[in-house]
């Protein structure tokens, strides 16, 4: 019984902590689909909050890196992200070029540090 519980626990958490808190906004959106428009003030504010929280996640993943990424020095992680961002701007906001340059800097730097 305990083994089954241990197996199912992550799925229980997935529904409780991941699915429901996220899905509620879709359900609410369905209810509110008449009446709100994209430029209303509540929508602008909620988009700003959503953007800021996502930015917070990005910063934490780079600064307090998980798993194998923690093996790459902090300065290199920040530098690679900055290079990727600069390339993205220079290449007319191309996601592909920005991500490719960021990754290239990270991998090349990581290889140099290792030797």
Partner 1 sequence: MAVRSVTSNSQAFFGGVTVALTSVFHLVIGGTYIGIGALAHDFGFSAGWMAFCTVLVWAGPAQVILISALGSGAPLVEAAIAVSLSGLRLLPMVVALLPLLRREGTRLRDLLLPTHFTSVSMWVESLRLLPAMPREHRIAMCNGIATGLMGVAVTYGFAGFYLAAGLPRLFAGGLLFLTPVSFLLSTARNARAMVDKLALLFGLALAPLLVALHVQLDLMWSGVVGGTLAYGIHRVREAAT
Q: Using CB under 8 A, which residues numbered 84 to 113 contact partner 1?
A: 84-85, 88, 93, 95-96, 98-99, 102-103, 106-107, 110-111
Q: What angle do CA 103, 114, 84 make, to 5 degrees?
A: 15
14 binds partner 1 (CB under 8 A): yes
- The CB density around residue 62, as the number of other CB atoms within 10 Å, is 15
Binding mask 43-72 for partner 1 (x = CB under 8 A): xxxxxxxxxxxxxxxxxxxxxxxxxxxxxx
Number of residues forming the site for partner 1 (CB under 8 A): 74
6 binds partner 1 (CB under 8 A): no
């Amino acid at each position: 019984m305990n083994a089954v519980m241990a197996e199912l626990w992550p799925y229980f958490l997935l529904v409780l902590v991941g699915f429901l808190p996220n899905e509620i906004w879709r359900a609410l959106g369905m209810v509110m689909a008449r009446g709100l428009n994209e430029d209303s003030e509540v929508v602008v504010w909620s988009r700003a909050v959503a953007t800021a929280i996502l930015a917070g996640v990005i910063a934490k993943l780079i600064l307090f890196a998980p798993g194998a990424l923690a093996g790459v020095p902090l300065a290199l992680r920040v530098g690679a992200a900055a290079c990727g961002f600069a390339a993205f701007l220079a290449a007319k906001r191309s996601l592909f070029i920005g991500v490719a340059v960021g990754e290239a800097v990270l991998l090349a730097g990581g290889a140099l540090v290792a030797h």
